[in-house]
Amino acid sequence: MIKTYIAREDYTDRVKPFLDKNIIKVIVGQMRVGKSYLLVQIMDSVKNRGGPQKNIVYINKELHEFDDIKNYKDLLSYVKKHSDKRKKTTYLFVDEIQDIDQFEKALRSLQAQGGCDIFITGSNADLLSGELAGYLSGRYVEIKVFGLSYPEFLKFHGLADGKEAFLRYLKHGGLPYLIHLEPDDDIVYDYLRNIRNSILYKDVVQRHGIRNVAFLERLTEYLADNIGSLVSAKRISDFLKSQKINISANVVLDYLSFLTGAFFVFKAPRSDVHGRKIFEISEKYYFEDLGLRHSIAGFRPTDIGKILENLVFLKFKEAGYAVTVGKLNGGEIDFVCEKGGQRIYAQVAYLLPDDKTREREFGNLLKIKDNFPKMVISMDELGGAAHKGIPHVNIREFLMSKLLPPHPSSQAQPN
């Protein structure tokens, strides 16, 4: 059991409203973003609540002591064995539940019986597609966990906001374990390469039975080189053919879905700003963790604009927004972010050194005639500047700001 941790209150606060409710709490996210530590924090919250001593059952499929729990029958047997009939509620915590065959049958049975408050984690988006949604009649709530945000990074590493701290965040990313390593590029990237390989081989290759591992590696290299650029399965297929690799567009689409399913990358589809139509051809891909991206393509100062885009995209995703790339009369809005009927438009640039650049970045936003908030985000040291009423925001100030709190993606039904 994990003994110590640095609290991530933003996530535990999202879980608290669902404690002692007949709703399965599903915590999902990429491998090594801190789901296990979050589960322990929730356990502590349960222990600290008022009332009698709690009956807690904890299973971590990454620990060898739980190797005997291979399928749903084993899981039911283990929970029954460790439940205390003298106590009204059993609090069940299962870490990396996708490693238990047909786990959803056990969860459905436990939920139907009542008296079991269930918390699970998983490293694949498919956890909530057919596997849970079809069997649990919608009685679950999803909490998506990301790597460390910039404020969390500063907290974990004991740093003050500043240019040096921000550069370190840009280069190394936000995986929590980095607090245990020297902030040396060689050491950090050795660790990140190992994590990258673990994600690809466990959550992609093994899970989907992939044989063409070389193509998967080439695809991740292509995405790492093209963050912030519109790509399509056909374009990727054509590029590979130019490299004497014959892969169809359909296969490319499958592999892209495997990578997004493992939360290794996120897809940002294109949408029409006025009609809200989603275009099915061409989208952008951004990485869950920039350090992992750099472990593939290297950290290149010439990519700084793309890297900033990736950070802004993640900030909106962490805050629970649906994010698309806006298409507007032949132009483009970097991000159209929607949540709860509200919308924010954002443009991202490295620097705005002259009037021509400023007109380009603000120009498309000025063409949008609705009254939703609009902003341009860059590394310029500004302090509340604006252009024709549209705020110009420094990237660090934006990352340190508190966007509207996210709402868990709930499929819960009333009891």
pLDDT of residue 330: 79
Q: What are the C-alpha distances in Å from 276 to residues 143, 265, 280, 341? A: 26, 23, 13, 13
For the ranges 18-32, 76-90, 275-289, 356-370, the lowest mean pLDDT is seen at 275-289
For the ranges 50-54, 73-77, 173-177, the lowest mean pLDDT is seen at 50-54
Residue that wins the pLDDT comparison between 120 and 409: 120
Residues with Cβ < 8 Å from 307, sequence gap 6 or more? 170, 227, 290
Q: Which amino acid is at 321?
A: Y
Average pLDDT over all residues of the chain: 91
Q: Is the pLDDT of residue 252 over 90?
A: yes
Measured CA to CA, the distance from residue 367 to residue 369 in angstroms comes to 6
pLDDT of residue 239: 86
pLDDT of residue 415: 37
Q: Between helices 163-172 and 304-318, what is the axis angle to 10°?
A: 90
Confidence at 404, pLDDT banded by 50, 70, 90: low
Residue that wins the pLDDT comparison between 406 and 278: 278
* Phi, psi for 373 (deg, rounded to 5): -60, 145
Q: Is the pLDDT of residue 21 over 90?
A: yes
- How confident is the model over 323-329, as a mean pLDDT? 93
**Partners of residue 92 on adjacent β-strands:** 57, 118
* Phi, psi for 401 (deg, rounded to 5): -75, 160
Kindly report the number of other CB atoms within 10 A of residue 113's CB atom.
10
- How confident is the model over 366-377, as a mean pLDDT? 94
Cα–Cα–Cα angle for 50, 56, 57, rounded to 5 degrees: 165
- How confident is the model over 65-92, as a mean pLDDT? 94
Q: Is the pLDDT of residue 350 over 80?
A: yes
pLDDT of residue 88: 85
- How confident is the model over 121-148, as a mean pLDDT? 80
Measured CA to CA, the distance from residue 371 to residue 136 in angstroms comes to 41
Q: Confirm if 391 and 307 have CB atoms less than 8 A apart.
A: no
pLDDT of residue 383: 58
Percent of the chain with pLDDT over 90: 77
pLDDT digits (tens, 9 = 90+) for 231-240: 999 999 998 8
Residues with Cβ < 8 Å from 372, sequence gap 6 or more? 342, 343, 344, 345
Measured CA to CA, the distance from residue 96 to residue 90 in angstroms comes to 19
Please report, for the chain, the start and end positions of each structural domain, with discontinuous segments joined by +: 9-145
Q: What are the C-alpha distances in Å from 39 to residues 93, 145, 167, 199, 250? A: 7, 11, 30, 20, 38
Q: Is the pLDDT of residue 1 over 80?
A: no
pLDDT of residue 411: 47
Burial class (CB in 10 A: 0-12, 13-18, 19+), 159: middle
pLDDT of residue 405: 44
Highest mean pLDDT among 131-140, 191-200, 278-287: 191-200
Q: Confirm if 252 and 238 have CB atoms less than 8 A apart.
A: no
**Partners of residue 279 on adjacent β-strands:** 270
Kindly report the number of other CB atoms within 10 A of residue 126's CB atom.
17
pLDDT of residue 129: 62
Q: Which helix (H) or strand (E) holds 163?
A: helix 163-172
Q: Is the pLDDT of residue 65 over 60?
A: yes
pLDDT of residue 406: 45
Q: Domain spanning 9-145: which superfamily?
A: P-loop containing nucleotide triphosphate hydrolases (3.40.50.300)
Confidence at 413, pLDDT banded by 50, 70, 90: very low
Nearest to 165 by CA among 8, 373, 396: 396
